[in-house]
Structure 1
């Protein structure tokens, strides 16, 4: 079983769904293999999980000879409360973020702030995301490959992104908790910082 089949199987197993119950979008970037975005409906929420970003390990783009096996591998998952209108453009944005390691040499990791420079979905106030620990357990691969890690994607406004740059990711999470902000709500306002 290849990396992508392992990842897809792990996502479907985690949510306890069959492939037929999941909507799939596919994004292709010049020179890269396709990245799929699985849309998994849940109880009052929708999960968007990438499959394909972990096909190759992430590494330093300056390395002349990238290791084709060793190195961290990552995928992304965005969870949102179901709301009308939220979601148009989400698959494209997640595809761009999942392709960032191959396209821009970005290494996806917890507390990373990734700025898209445009709304994450149509008319959204969020133009960046903050990565955190994901709920899907690490997906083991045959040695010597490192496991695939899923990172939770939390949309943030430009003001919140600036806060992360100045104070750090945990300070923003603390502000959300103190204000009782539900970060899964696609219609939420920004934290008062």
Structure 2
């Protein structure tokens, strides 16, 4: 069983769905294998899970030779409330983010701020995302490969991204909490910072 099959099976177990029956988009970048985005409806939410970003371990872009087996591996999980108009462009944006390690040498990790440079979906105020600990358990791979971690993706506005750069990720999370902001709401405004 390859990495993608293991990841897909873990998503199916976690959400109790048949991944063959869910909507799937595929995003391909020149020179890279496709990244799939699974759209999984839930109770009042929709989950978007990437499959394919963890195909190869992330590594130091300055390294002369990349280790083909060892190194951190990551996938992304975006959860949004339904009924607020997100959708068009989400798969492409998640594909770009999941491909960032292979394209730009970025290592995905907790509290990473990734800038898209454009709205995450059509008419969205969010142009960046903040990664955090995800609800999905790690996907174990055969030794000596590292497990695959799923990171929760939280869309952020340009103002919120600037706040993270100055004060840190936890300060933004605290501001959301204090203001009662539902970060799963795709129609939410920015936190007053």
**Equivalent in the alignment of 2:148:** 148
TM-score by length of 2: 0.99
The answer as to 2:135 corresponding to 1:122 is no
**Aligned partners of 1:53, 1:22: CA distance in 2, in Å?**
19
Whether the 8 Å contact between 2:85 and 2:187 is mirrored in structure 1 is: no
Q: Which runs of 5+ in 2 are unaligned?
A: none
1:19 positional shift = 2.2
Deviations 1:90-121 (A, max 9, x none): 00000000000000000000000000000000
**Equivalent in the alignment of 2:173:** 173
Whether the 8 Å contact between 1:46 and 1:82 is mirrored in structure 2 is: yes
**Aligned partners of 2:51, 2:84: CA distance in 1, in Å?**
25
Matches within 5 A, 1:11-160: 11-160=11-160
Q: Which runs of 5+ in 1 are unaligned?
A: none
> SS of the counterpart of 2:26?
strand
> SS of the counterpart of 2:126?
coil
1:84 positional shift = 4.5
Deviations 1:47-106 (A, max 9, x none): 000000000000011111100000000000000000243111000000000000000000
**Aligned partners of 1:171, 1:62: CA distance in 2, in Å?**
31
Runs of 4+ with >6 A deviation:
none
Whether the 8 Å contact between 2:84 and 2:185 is mirrored in structure 1 is: no
Whether the 8 Å contact between 2:50 and 2:98 is mirrored in structure 1 is: yes
Alpha-carbon RMSD across the aligned residues, in angstroms, is 0.7
